[in-house]
Every structure is written in structure tokens, then in C-alpha cells.
């Protein structure tokens, strides 16, 4: 029994949800998202979405909670949006952006230029005496997470000095260095 899949999803004001040919489309003030749904039935009544599975097989039970969470994230995304913040920790690490191009200096011999998807809003903050911060915002949770993971993969935080690209608030486990 899926506890997540059985809980209803409320549709807020100003958001429309349409189901056509097993494709759920959610429209809101921040954009539009769609997701193909298989093996699960969707019922929309009085501004509430309820999902029920067609059969009780193991793959259908697994998809029941997954699709409920995806629909809930789509609704939250088009109403509020999702954001991620990355912090560059290290001497000489810099980030600047021009439009949708992110230019990163991460201690390599060359700078890394990354083209960000147009659905993601990009902002860089470089205050003197503080670590540079990259802010990402979009209505698509998967896309924001994917872009943030790509940026982080260029220089993951290392355990000895803690240098690298990390999420704001992320705790890096430190190791002791060599002892003489």
C-alpha cells in the first residue's frame, strides 16, 4: 500500500491541470509542464487530484507513489518554482554569467563555459571577502537539480581542505592530513 500515492494533491488557484491520452499537463503563472503517466488512473474532482493504480503488481505499486510525487512537484513548480544555490570554496574560484552562459574559474588551466538551459534563471553573486554563489531558479525541479549537479561535477568538494563547488549549507566531511 502506497502511503504517498494515496494522499491527494490540491490544485491551487490560478493553476490548471489537464489529462489527455495519459499525459498530464500543468499550467501556472511560471510556466507549463507535462508528464506521461502509465499504469495509474487519475481522477480530478473539486480541485483535488487522486491517483489509483490499475493493478496491484509490483511495478504498478512502485509507479503509484512516483507519479503522485511528480504531479505534486509539477504543481509546486508552476506556482512557486524551485531554486538551488551553489557555493564556490577555494582561492581564485570565480563565477560570472552573461545571459545563459556561465563562466567558471575553478583552478584549471582554462575556464569552463557552460550553456544553461533557457528555462533556468541564472544569477551569480560575488561579494568581496565571501565565496562566490551561483543561484539557479526554474519551474522544473528535475532540470534545476540536473544543472546544479553538472556544475558541481566540475570540481566536487575534496575532504582535506574542503575546496570545490558545493551546495549552500552542504556539510563536507573533513579528513585529517598526514601526520609527521
Q: Is residue 87 located within the same domain as residue 55?
A: no
| The pLDDT value given to residue 131 | 93
pTM as predicted: 0.88
123: domain range? 82-167
Could you tell me what percent of the chain has a pLDDT over 70?
A: 99
Read off the CATH number of the domain in which 29 is found.
Answer: 3.90.930.12
- pLDDT, tens only, 117-132: 999 999 999 999 999 9
Q: Is residue 22 located within the same domain as residue 96?
A: no
Using DSSP's 3-state secondary structure scheme, residue 66 falls into helix
Q: Stretch 142-167: mean pLDDT, rounded? A: 95
Q: Is residue 70 located within the same domain as residue 86?
A: no
| The pLDDT value given to residue 2 | 59
Q: Is residue 32 located within the same domain as residue 90?
A: no
Q: Is residue 88 located within the same domain as residue 157?
A: yes
Note whether residue 42 is domain-resident. Answer: yes
Q: Binning pLDDT at 50, 70 and 90, where does residue 33 land?
A: very high
Q: Is residue 48 located within the same domain as residue 65?
A: yes
Q: Is residue 160 located within the same domain as residue 117?
A: yes
- pLDDT, tens only, 100-110: 999 999 999 99
Domain boundary among 79, 110, 130: 79
Note whether residue 55 is domain-resident. Answer: yes
C-alpha distances in Å from residue 8, one per residue of 13, 74, 76, 125, 141: 16, 14, 14, 39, 20
How many structural domains does the chain have?
2
Q: Is residue 28 located within the same domain as residue 87?
A: no
- Mean of pLDDT over the chain: 92
Residues 6+ apart with CB under 8 A from 102: 95, 96, 113, 114, 115, 116, 122, 124, 134, 151
- Rounded to 5 degrees, what are φ and ψ at 58? -60, -45
Note whether residue 133 is domain-resident. Answer: yes
Q: Is residue 13 located within the same domain as residue 38?
A: yes
Could you tell me what percent of the chain has a pLDDT over 90?
A: 77
Q: Is residue 86 located within the same domain as residue 75?
A: no
Q: Is residue 29 located within the same domain as residue 98?
A: no
Domain boundary among 79, 94, 127: 79
CA distance 113 to 1: 47
Domain boundary among 22, 49, 79: 79
Q: Is residue 141 located within the same domain as residue 67?
A: no
- pLDDT, tens only, 62-94: 889 899 999 999 999 999 999 999 999 999 999
Amino acid at each position: 500500500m502506497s502511503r504517498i500515492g494515496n494522499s491527494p494533491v490540491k490544485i491551487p488557484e490560478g493553476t490548471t491541470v489537464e489529462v489527455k491520452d495519459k499525459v498530464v499537463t500543468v499550467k501556472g503563472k511560471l510556466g507549463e509542464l507535462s508528464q506521461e503517466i502509465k499504469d495509474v488512473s487519475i481522477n480530478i474532482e473539486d480541485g483535488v487530484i487522486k491517483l489509483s493504480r490499475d493493478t496491484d503488481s509490483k511495478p504498478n505499486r512502485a509507479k503509484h507513489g512516483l507519479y503522485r510525487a511528480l504531479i505534486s512537484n509539477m504543481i509546486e513548480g508552476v506556482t512557486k518554482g524551485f531554486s538551488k544555490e551553489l557555493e564556490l570554496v577555494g582561492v581564485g574560484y570565480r563565477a560570472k554569467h552573461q545571459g545563459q552562459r556561465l563562466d567558471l574559474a575553478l583552478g584549471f588551466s582554462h575556464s569552463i563555459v557552460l550553456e544553461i538551459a533557457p528555462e533556468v534563471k541564472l544569477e551569480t553573486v560575488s561579494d568581496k571577502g565571501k565565496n562566490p554563489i551561483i543561484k539557479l531558479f526554474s519551474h522544473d525541479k528535475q532540470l534545476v537539480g540536473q544543472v546544479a549537479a553538472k556544475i558541481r561535477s566540475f570540481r566536487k568538494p575534496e575532504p582535506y581542505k574542503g575546496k570545490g563547488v558545493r551546495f549552500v549549507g552542504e556539510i563536507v566531511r573533513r579528513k585529517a592530513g598526514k601526520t609527521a
